[in-house]
Amino acid sequence: MTEKVLVLGAGESGVGAALLAQAKGFEVFVSDFGKISEEHKNELVVAAIPFEEGTHVNAPRKVSIVVKSPGIPDSAPIVQELRSNGAKIYSEIEFAFGYTNAKIIAITGTNGKTTTTKLIHHLLTKAGINAGLAGNIGISFAKEVLNKKHDWYVLEISSFQLDDIEHFKPNIALILNITPDHLDRYGYDIQKYADSKFRIIENMDSEGTFIYGKDDTLTNQQVNKKSIIPHSISFTLDFLKGATLEIPFGDQVYTFDNLPLKGPHNAWNMEAAILTALTVGLSPKQIQEELPSFIGEPHRLQEVALKNDITFINDSKATNVEAALFALQSFDKPIIWIAGGTDKGNDYSPLIQTVKKHVKGLVCLGVDNEKLINTFSEIIPTKETQDTGKAIELALELSDKNDIILLAPACASFDLFKNYMDRGDIFMQEVHKL
């Protein structure tokens, strides 16, 4: 009898898991409580994989394996029902891992995951290594495993994906940082969130390598109290010396210059990527040759335009407080800050001193701006709107020549936008209309 696999969620990871499961001989059904995009629907139709949308009514309840979208919480009734029936519930990362012999580099952390993941992939592929790129970055790991043959995979991994692993075992694992984010999924308990991040190394042995940010308070606390089995390498902003990085590795210190990314947080990301490339076996010369050619991530400190001596910066990907803090600390010029969106249990108090030092005005762009206004209105002039064009207008009213207008929301985007990319795109469109 053919074993059944139920895939919950028909986004990129869900459809990828469904296609891989079908190719491995499983009987597959896909169920999405929301609406499935036409692109993903067409993929399922072409593959003759049965599916439903807008309901879970037809989803089989007696299955041994469920592949769950990371966006679906464990509290969802369908998940609780399937778990009570004895189903194994996996993330797509866990499911696809079982069908590849490639070596794995896995990157997690609250901030900087995408930049670091892409930079590692850039350095490896430019050095001639056959490396795939997938994971939380928006590329299905399962599809990559199904359709391509790579020697290495560089995977961006979220805490939600790590919540549903069992055997996933990277060769190299990175934890960049841990700061409050997604606490609504973890009972507003930062320890539970940290434990989720540290699952990335739970199956690793002494042959693996664990790279982590030593300056990050919570990460370092966890390292000091947990039993860490893989070989550990830490990095610190002490490696940043002016415009160069001096990175110790083994018994040598290597200097890297002509760096492609700005800001101390990006120095952090580059250090992690360089240490990873050295661990894989790239020479310092190979890394230095290809480092300057890396192009940064869209919506991450992206310079949009210089208009009337005012610089517009799109950092829509700054969806939490820590990311917004990094953005605000990255400029020497006065900032008009555009922030707001869906609050995820944010505490804005860590931003207060930086706001006092760097910010001359705040425009709140969100449906509910009360917490932002309560925190900052007595410190700087504060305005609010639910329209991006109007937000830019208000920011211009607060600005002078040589200022920076910075979109760094510190919040999720789902109150007014489809996602952070949509928010950033609309911001850039409105700037270009000026």
Which letter, b or e, does each residue of 213-248 get, where b requires 16 or more Cβ atoms within 10 Å of its Cβ? Answer: beebebbbebbeeeeeebeebbbeeebbeeeebebe
Structure token pair of residue 359: 């910010």
Sign of torsion over alpha carbons 38, 18, 82, 73: negative
Decide: 193 and 118 in contact? Cβ < 8 Å: no
Is 255 annotated as ligand-binding?
no
Consult the annotation and say whether 132 binds a ligand.
no
CA distance 350 to 205: 37
Paired with 82 in beta bridges are none
Residue pointed to by tokens 């939490």: 320
Nearest CA-CA partner of 82 in 4, 142, 16, 166: 4
Kindly state the helix (H) or strand (E) to which residue 121 belongs, with its residue range. Answer: helix 113-126
Look-up of token digits 């690793």: 204
Residue carrying the six token digits 């609250």:
110
Is 110 annotated in a binding site? The answer is: yes
402 annotated to a ligand binding site: no
CA dist 203 and 1 (Å) reads 32
**4: part of which helix (H) or strand (E)?**
strand 4-8
219 is in an annotated binding site: no
Query: What phi and psi, each to the nearest 5 degrees, are found at residue 301?
Result: 45, 45
Q: Is 113 exposed, middle or buried (0-12, 13-18, 19+ CB in 10 A)?
A: buried
Residue 41 in 3-state DSSP? helix
User: Is residue 146 helix, strand or coil?
Assistant: helix
Strand partners, 405: 312, 336
Q: Do strands 231-235 and 240-241 pair parallel, antiparallel, or not at all (unpaired)?
A: unpaired
Please tell me whether 115 is known to bind a ligand. Answer: yes
Length of the chain as a residue count: 434
User: Please, are residues 36 and 13 in contact by the beta-carbon 8 Å criterion?
Assistant: no
385 labelled ligand-binding: no
- Binding region for ATP: 109-115
- Binding region: 109-115
